[in-house]
Amino acid sequence: MKVILHTGAHRCATTSFQEYMRQNAQPLARQGIGFWGPHRTRGGLFHGIQPGPAPANGRDLVQRAQGRLQIQMASCRERGVQQLLVSEENMLGSVRANLRIGDLYSGAGERMARMFQAFGGAVTDAALSIRSLDSYWTSALAYAVARGHKLPSAGGLDRLAQAPRSWRDVITDIACAMPGVRLHVLPFETFGSRPEAALAAVTGIEAPRTHARVRLNASLCLQDLRASVPSAVAADLPQGSGRWRPFDDAQTASLREAYADDIMWLAAGADGLATLVHDPDKQAAGTNPPDIGLTRGRPDDKQRRMAGSG
């Protein structure tokens, strides 16, 4: 049985993907696909894998978590599950921790190494959704402010924009933490609204299209964000409607440039650490691409006759 860890990330349509998987649980089961989402993983299944406060009762919580996972995976095998997809974005960390530290999943390597060990080497594949850093941080800030986080200061925004850590570092950490695991990277811009395409890319099945356009947990627009926060906070938000844009033009350009570098690194092979998943609906040009005639006038390589004398 293949075990696929879908690690999010946050604010990359992960909740919508999980809802799509839940709604299609029965047709996917007929294709041998099992699914564990937050409704299951946050009910105690992963308790003890990551360090944290625990009662001093002498029990080895890590060993108990490993045993718990082995029992659940054995049950899946008995039911005929051929590919088990485990989707939990908190495996990487949390949005709150990212904003508090001002960095992008700084503990992802250690956390994923513990997850890999807990599954006892059964993990064969991992999937990570990434997003342009300017829209990722904007979505994370809107999510946090709507839940009581204070508005970012000018210095805080600049720290996020100039942070040296990018998706390349997160991918490298995950790949090093889980040696031998195939890591699939899915850009949000391509797969964010197409969970069926993301599932097909990771599992190789013909994914169902029902419930594929459910959108959950989207960022609030400015007018809704102002209505959801206290009046003192709403007064400091920009006026108008539409998407909140906390970064200035220079900061946005810096974040987009970092993301473009990440995509170029992935497209070039990512040093053999990960695979960039391409849009399945876009076919690459062949050896001899068609001449689409984008230039006007005569081509320079055609011979022309010179006017004769006389």
Report in angstroms the alpha-carbon separations of 97 from 91, 106, 175.
Answer: 13, 9, 21
Query: What are phi and psi for residue 215, nearest 5 degrees?
Result: -120, 115
Residue 221 tokens, joined: 């627009």
pLDDT at 52: 79
- Residue located via tokens 């809704």: 224
How far apart are the C-alpha atoms of 73 and 4, rounded to whole Å? 12
What is the CB neighbour count within 10 angstroms for residue 34?
25
**Tens-digit pLDDT profile for the chain (310 aa)?**
999 999 999 999 999 999 999 999 999 999 999 999 999 999 999 999 998 776 667 688 999 999 999 999 999 999 999 999 999 999 999 999 999 999 999 999 999 999 999 999 899 999 999 999 999 999 999 999 999 999 999 999 999 999 999 999 999 999 999 999 999 999 999 999 999 999 999 999 999 999 999 999 999 999 999 999 999 999 999 998 999 999 999 999 999 999 999 999 999 999 999 999 998 887 766 667 666 666 665 655 555 555 555 5
